[in-house]
């Protein structure tokens, strides 16, 4: 039975293509430029003329012999016709199968093999989970993995262990992390997790699974409800991945909510346990100078706080605010 379209999909996709401005700014820092440029560039490719041709969804750079396949702006009929072409693209490096419609890629997942594949973006269909495991394990060259579930009701994922020894970037459901083996997590530096309503509130269990990611410097968490307190996410991060430098929590469905003084103090307590944190991004309102100063006292490494409508920067030991770009 085909999976229904996930009504949360458009909300999550919007935030995927419009990440926290503070985290985008990380790409401008020399130390992190190489590690962060690729995910953001791929997001922008989906909305600019530099993307894939609308006539066949295939882009080829003959100077580098690079081939990409994207389903961007193509009809279901066209996509289904093009799947037969995929098997011939042996040197494919980037495969983008993120969809808002249900298309059966089981045959592709079961049999296709691309010896140079480094980036894979896919809308997970519930009925082809076994095929997904097989496909990923046939492509240990993957460095960037983006998964988006299509089903609209809670369903338990059941996958074989995934072995991706070169994985550096993961963007997808929080529940998927547990299927990555230890070697797959050793080089991951950026993680974007989506917590859906059926996550049972067990944020700590998910972040504990990130503990082997000793190269991790950026954690972004997206939630579809107000059920993950900012302090809970930061406290769990401090317990399992205290070396992170950039942290973000975004609610993709509801309007930004004011933050209470009690919540602000709890965040400060967690920040004391994150000695390397440089950028904090929260989708909240009502944060005054004294609150940001409190967080700055708790974390001497913190130099930027980005909120819903305002950014705060530490300059010469003082915090100054500036409006967020629209």
Helix (H) or strand (E) holding 281: strand 279-282
Give the model's pLDDT for residue 228. 82
Give the model's pLDDT for residue 201. 56
Give the model's pLDDT for residue 224. 75
Q: Position of tokens 């409800």? A: 225
**Which of 37-51, 76-90, 201-215, 264-278 has the highest mean predicted lDDT (pLDDT)?**
264-278
Name which residue leads in pLDDT, 91 or 170.
170
Mean of pLDDT over the chain: 75
Q: Among 135-139, 228-232, 255-259, 294-298, which stretch is predicted with the lowest mean pLDDT?
A: 255-259
- Return the HEC string of 114-143: CCCCCEEEEEECHHHHHHHHHHHHCCCCCC
The residue length of the chain stands at 326
Asked whether residue 215 carries a pLDDT value surpassing 80, the answer given is yes
**Which of 42-46, 103-107, 201-205, 217-221 has the highest mean predicted lDDT (pLDDT)?**
217-221
Q: What is the pTM assigned to this prediction? A: 0.78
Collapsing DSSP to helix, strand or coil, 295 comes out as helix
**Which of 39-53, 76-90, 283-297 has the highest mean predicted lDDT (pLDDT)?**
283-297
Give the model's pLDDT for residue 31. 38
Q: How confident is the model at residue 308 (pLDDT cuts 50, 70, 90)?
A: confident
Question: Cα separations (Å) of 27 from 4, 30, 119, 285, 323?
Answer: 36, 8, 19, 26, 20
> CA triplet 78, 80, 82: central angle to 5 degrees?
70
Q: Please tell me what DSSP assigns to residue 65.
A: T
- The token duo for 104 is 């059966």
Give the model's pLDDT for residue 1. 38
Candidates 325, 324, 290; CA nearest to 307 is 324
- The token duo for 173 is 């459901």
**Which of 83-92, 197-206, 289-298 has the highest mean predicted lDDT (pLDDT)?**
289-298
Q: Position of tokens 């939630």? A: 223
Name which residue leads in pLDDT, 302 or 73.
302
Contact 241, 207 (CB under 8 A): yes
Asked whether residue 103 carries a pLDDT value surpassing 50, the answer given is yes
Question: Cα separations (Å) of 276 from 155, 184, 195, 236, 244?
Answer: 37, 24, 25, 15, 6
Phi, psi of 97 (to 5 degrees): -120, 40
Asked whether residue 57 carries a pLDDT value surpassing 70, the answer given is no
d(CA 249, CA 287): 15
**Dihedral sign, Cα of residue 289, residue 293, residue 294, residue 296:** positive
Give the model's pLDDT for residue 124. 78
Domains defined for the chain, CATH in brackets: 9-48+85-150+160-323 (3.80.10)
β-bridge mates for residue 221, sequence order: 193, 249
Candidates 270, 273, 227; CA nearest to 252 is 227
Phi, psi of 313 (to 5 degrees): -120, 140
Give the model's pLDDT for residue 253. 66
Give the model's pLDDT for residue 51. 26
Asked whether residue 92 carries a pLDDT value surpassing 90, the answer given is no
d(CA 74, CA 88): 20
């Amino acid at each position: 039975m085909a999976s229904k379209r996930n009504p949360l999909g458009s909300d999550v996709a919007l935030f995927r293509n419009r990440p926290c401005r503070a985290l985008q700014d990380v790409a401008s820092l020399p130390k992190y430029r190489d590690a962060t440029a690729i995910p953001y560039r791929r997001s922008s490719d989906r909305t600019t003329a530099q993307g894939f041709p609308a006539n066949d969804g295939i882009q080829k750079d003959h100077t580098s012999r690079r081939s990409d396949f994207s389903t961007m702006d193509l009809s279901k009929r066209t996509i289904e016709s093009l799947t037969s072409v995929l098997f011939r693209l042996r040197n494919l490096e980037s495969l983008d199968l993120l969809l808002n419609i249900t298309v059966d890629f089981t045959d592709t997942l079961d049999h296709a093999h691309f010896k140079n594949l480094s980036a894979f973006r896919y809308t997970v269909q519930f009925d082809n989970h076994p095929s997904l495991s097989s496909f990923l394990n046939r492509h240990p060259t993957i460095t960037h993995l983006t998964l988006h579930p299509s089903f609209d009701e809670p369903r338990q994922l059941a996958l074989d262990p995934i072995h991706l020894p070169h994985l550096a970037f993961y963007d997808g459901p929080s529940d998927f992390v547990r299927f990555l083996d230890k070697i797959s997590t050793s080089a991951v530096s950026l993680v974007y997790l989506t917590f859906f309503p059926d996550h049972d509130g067990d944020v700590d269990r998910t972040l504990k699974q990130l503990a082997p990611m000793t190269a991790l410097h950026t954690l972004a968490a997206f939630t579809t409800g107000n059920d993950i307190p900012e302090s809970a996410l930061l406290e769990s991060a401090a317990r399992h991945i205290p070396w992170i430098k950039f942290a973000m929590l975004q609610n993709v469905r509801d309007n930004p909510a004011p933050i209470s003084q009690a919540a602000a103090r709890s965040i400060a307590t967690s920040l004391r346990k994150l000695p390397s944190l440089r950028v904090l991004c929260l989708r909240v309102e009502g944060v005054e100078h004294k609150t940001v100063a409190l967080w700055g006292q708790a974390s001497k490494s913190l130099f930027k706080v980005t909120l819903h409508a305002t950014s705060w920067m530490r300059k010469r030991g003082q915090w100054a605010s500036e409006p967020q770009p629209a």
